[in-house]
Amino acid sequence: MPNGERTEVLQGTLDLMILQTLASLGPQHGYAVAARLEQVSGGALQLNMGTLYPGLTRLEARGLVSARWGQTDANRRARFYELTARGRRALEQERSQWFRMAGIMARVLE
């Protein structure tokens, strides 16, 4: 983790991070999504469930993910979230917008 600091999730990026995680790993329960985001960020992102679950619920309401009950590796009951076809299309669109905006910001900050 850079300088040992946590990083706040930028407004509007949580959905993109969740969609990308589910696209990369397949169906996951919320805790596994949070753990993966912490892992790939080198510990800089540590999402609490009060942040993550509203995002998952919002994505489910928009039809971008589906949810089902299942068992975790620790044999606990949990909701597993999976990207829908609509979610895959939205992910590609949001990724494109993100890379475009990141390029613009890089040019502005030079």
Instruction: Please report the pLDDT score of residue 51 as a whole number.
Output: 87
Contact 84, 43 (CB under 8 A): no
Q: 11-65: per-residue pLDDT in tens?
A: 678 999 999 999 999 999 999 999 999 999 999 888 888 889 999 999 999 999 9
CA angle 76, 82, 87 (to 5 degrees): 155
> For residue 3, what pLDDT is reported?
52
Q: What is the pLDDT of residue 1?
A: 43
Rounded to 10 degrees, what is the CA torsion of 45, 70, 59, 54?
-60
Model pLDDT, residue 57: 95
Widest CA span in the chain: 51
Tokens (6 digits) for 95: 């990724």
* b/e map 40-74, b = 16+ CB within 10 Å: ebeebbebeeeebeebbeebbeeebbebeeeeeee
Q: Across all residues in the chain, what is the average pLDDT?
A: 91
pTM of the model: 0.86
CB 98 within 8 A of CB 82: no
Domains, the chain, with CATH or none: 2-109 (1.10.10.10)
Q: What proportion of the chain, given as a percentage, has pLDDT over 70?
A: 90
Lay out the sheet containing 77-83: strands in order across: 28-29, 77-83, 65-71
